Structure formats: structure tokens, C-alpha cells
Homo-oligomer: A and B are copies of this chain.
Amino acid sequence: MSEEETMSGETGTVPHETVPREDGIVLGPTRYGKAEVRVVHVAKSDGEHDIRDLNVSVALSGDQADTHLTGDNTKVLTTDAQKNAVFALARRHGVASPESFALLLARHFLSTCPYIDHARIAVDEYAWDRVPDVRSRHSFMRSGRETRTALVHRDADGTTSVVSGLKDLVVLNSTGSEFHGFYKDEYTTLAETDDRILATAVDARWRHTNAPPGADRTAEDWDKAYERAHASLLAAFADTYSLSLQQTLYAMGRRLLLDEAGVCEVRLALPNRHHFAADLTPFGLDNDNRVFFAADRPYGLIEGAVARAGAPVPGRAWE
């Protein structure tokens, strides 16, 4: 087994040293960059404005051993310059969708510094609606609770992956959910139920088929694809009669795959936001599933992947 095999994973791609130094210590994978660059872009056309509001995190990797081992920064593109590039590229090219802006940035960083061979661009986008029923065409209000996400990886050879997603989409079915027939061990005391509230804060990401992503899509395409995925997830949550949150998770992933030909895998993390029916019997009252206590912690957490058969290998797409 070589050293390289031991340290793959979340923190980077660069093949690290294979010849240990005298002290027997080796540098493993690394990455670095500017995180949470809050850039807002205003597009203006005949007095009509449009805004895009992003939180951009850049993480680069490559031939960076010198700065770690000796503090020689010759090969370090400063995180300050990375931040400047985010603003400058927003000015040069505009911001039309998180996926297309992330692809633009990834290509830029690979081209601007020879010591970088991998770029990871993560974007959160916050949604704004126009203020309704006013004269102004430049007035906006934050809308929705959810955050749209995009994650792009790109290698020096052009290999690119795109994962789109959303988080904090809070949804609730006030009925249409049962939970029973489960395994009982010595610590099982939960009552079985044929009617409960099912609520969660959806964290979903979906991987686009590599072919190559972006080559065939405009920013408008990405926006429309996001709207469709959002609608698919919501519809599957609402219209699945649920025997477990696990079943709902699978239904949501499956629905998105059936609706979107360009998506090959969906990953979901669904916290079970427990709503416990208040026990009112000490007060001579029934409850009849009308009054609930919304608990904070602990919470169930269901995570899973749903994929198209034969989906290509993900590589670093999810990292």
C-alpha cells in the first residue's frame, strides 16, 4: 500500500510526498482558499434591476508543499487575490446562476496560477423576490427559507463535476404519516402510531451527469433545472403517504431522478423534526393530533443516496 492510498478524502487531491523525511512525517492532502466571499451582483436594464446574492467559497489544491514545510510562499496564490477575482469576474461576466459562476471561477483559478491543479468552488445563493405591488423596479425582499447551493470540482485536465442542491427547505405534513412495525430491542418504548406529523428541513444535493456539465447549459438552463428539482422534491414530500421518513427520502430522490434526465444521483439528509402530541390527559382533555410540542434536540437524522443504475463514478464530486 502506498502512502497515497492512505489519505484520500475530504481535504484535497494533491499527491503528497512519497519519500518520508528523516522524522518519518509526511504531508498529506491539503487545500486552501478564501471562504464565504459575500458578493451581490446587480444587473440593470432600462431601469429594471435584477440581483443575485451569493456566498462563494474557493478551495484550491496543487503543488503546495513548500509553504507547509518551509514557509516558502512562491507557489501560493493568496486568498486575498482569490477574493479579488470573485469580485472582478462578477464584474466582467456578471452572475447569472450559481453553477455557471462556479464553473467560471474554477476555470479561472486553474488558468491563473501554474501551481494549482484542482479547484473546488462552493456557492450558496440566497433568494430575493421583488417587493410586490410597488412602483419600484429595484426593490427586493429576501424570500423563502431555503438556500440554493452549487458545488463544482475541476481538475487541470478539465475533468469537471457539478452538484446542485438546496438546504433548509423546511416542510411539514400534518397527517399522512404512520410509523409502526419496527424492530423492538430492550430499550424500545416508542408507541406505534398511524397518524403523526412528519416535518423536516430538507438538505438535498443532486449530481449532474458528466458530459461535460456546463458545456451544454446556459445560466438560464441551470436556473430552470433548479426550479424543476425544487418542485420535484416538494411534490414527492407532499404526495408520498409515508410509513417512515426513510421511505419519504427514497421517494424524493427517486422522483427527482425520474423528472430530471441530466441527474444521475441524489443525496439527502433529512432531520426528523419531531412534533410530539402534547399529553393533555391530566387535564381531562384529549388531543386528537391538534396540539404539538415542536422539539429541538435530539432529533432523528436519515441520510441516503438514490442513484440511476449505471451512474458514472462520482470521483470527488461530493467532497
With a cutoff of 8 Å between Cβ atoms, the chain B residues found around residue A174 in the complex are 42, 44, 49, 51, 138-140
With a cutoff of 8 Å between Cβ atoms, the chain B residues found around residue A173 in the complex are 136, 138-140
Q: Determine the residue in chain B with the shortest Cβ distance to A275.
A: B40
With a cutoff of 8 Å between Cβ atoms, the chain B residues found around residue A67 in the complex are 243-244, 246-247
A186-206 interface mask toward B, CB cutoff 8 Å, 1 = contact, 0 = none? 111110000001000000000
Asked if A87 is an interface residue, CB under 8 A from chain B, the answer is yes
Which residue from B34, B40, B298 sits with its C-beta under 8 Å from A197? B40
Does B29 contact A305, Cβ atoms closer than 8 Å?
Answer: yes
Does B298 contact A135, Cβ atoms closer than 8 Å?
Answer: no
A271-293 interface mask toward B, CB cutoff 8 Å, 1 = contact, 0 = none? 11001001010110101011111
Which residue from B28, B244, B250 sits with its C-beta under 8 Å from A27? B250
Q: Which of A76-84, A151-159, A218-226 forms part of the interface with chain B?
A: A76-84
Asked if A134 is an interface residue, CB under 8 A from chain B, the answer is yes
With a cutoff of 8 Å between Cβ atoms, the chain B residues found around residue A283 in the complex are 84, 88, 186-187
- In the complex, which of the residues A51, A250, A311 has the most CB atoms of chain B within 10 Å of its own CB atom? A250
Asked if A212 is an interface residue, CB under 8 A from chain B, the answer is no
Given contacts A34-B301, A36-B298, A294-B40, are A134 and B23 in contact (CB under 8 A)? no
Which residue from B11, B92, B187 sits with its C-beta under 8 Å from A305? B11
Asked if A260 is an interface residue, CB under 8 A from chain B, the answer is no
A interface, by DSSP: helix, strand, loop or mixed?
mixed
Does A244 contact B73, Cβ atoms closer than 8 Å?
Answer: yes
Does B278 contact A87, Cβ atoms closer than 8 Å?
Answer: yes
Asked if A26 is an interface residue, CB under 8 A from chain B, the answer is yes
Q: Which of A39-72 touch B at CB < 8 Å?
A: 39-44, 49, 51, 53, 57, 59, 64, 67-72
Q: Which of A279-319 touch B at CB < 8 Å?
A: 280, 282-283, 285, 287, 289-314, 318
A287 to chain B, nearest CB (A): 6
With a cutoff of 8 Å between Cβ atoms, the chain B residues found around residue A27 in the complex are 250, 304-306
Bound Cα distance from A135 to B240, whole angstroms: 10
Asked if A235 is an interface residue, CB under 8 A from chain B, the answer is yes
With a cutoff of 8 Å between Cβ atoms, the chain B residues found around residue A184 in the complex are 81
With a cutoff of 8 Å between Cβ atoms, the chain B residues found around residue A32 in the complex are 246, 300-304
- In the complex, which of the residues A71, A88, A171, A309 has the most CB atoms of chain B within 10 Å of its own CB atom? A71
Asked if A257 is an interface residue, CB under 8 A from chain B, the answer is yes
Does B136 contact A299, Cβ atoms closer than 8 Å?
Answer: no
Q: Determine the residue in chain B with the shortest Cβ distance to A5.
A: B313
A19 to chain B, nearest CB (A): 9
Bound Cα distance from A10 to B265, whole angstroms: 14
Does A87 contact B291, Cβ atoms closer than 8 Å?
Answer: yes
With a cutoff of 8 Å between Cβ atoms, the chain B residues found around residue A197 in the complex are 40, 42
Which residue from B30, B132, B134, B249 sits with its C-beta under 8 Å from A239? B134
Of the A-B pairs whose beta carbons lie under 8 Å apart in the complex, a sample of 8, sorted by A's number, is: A9-B318, A30-B246, A37-B298, A59-B303, A64-B246, A73-B183, A91-B285, A131-B237
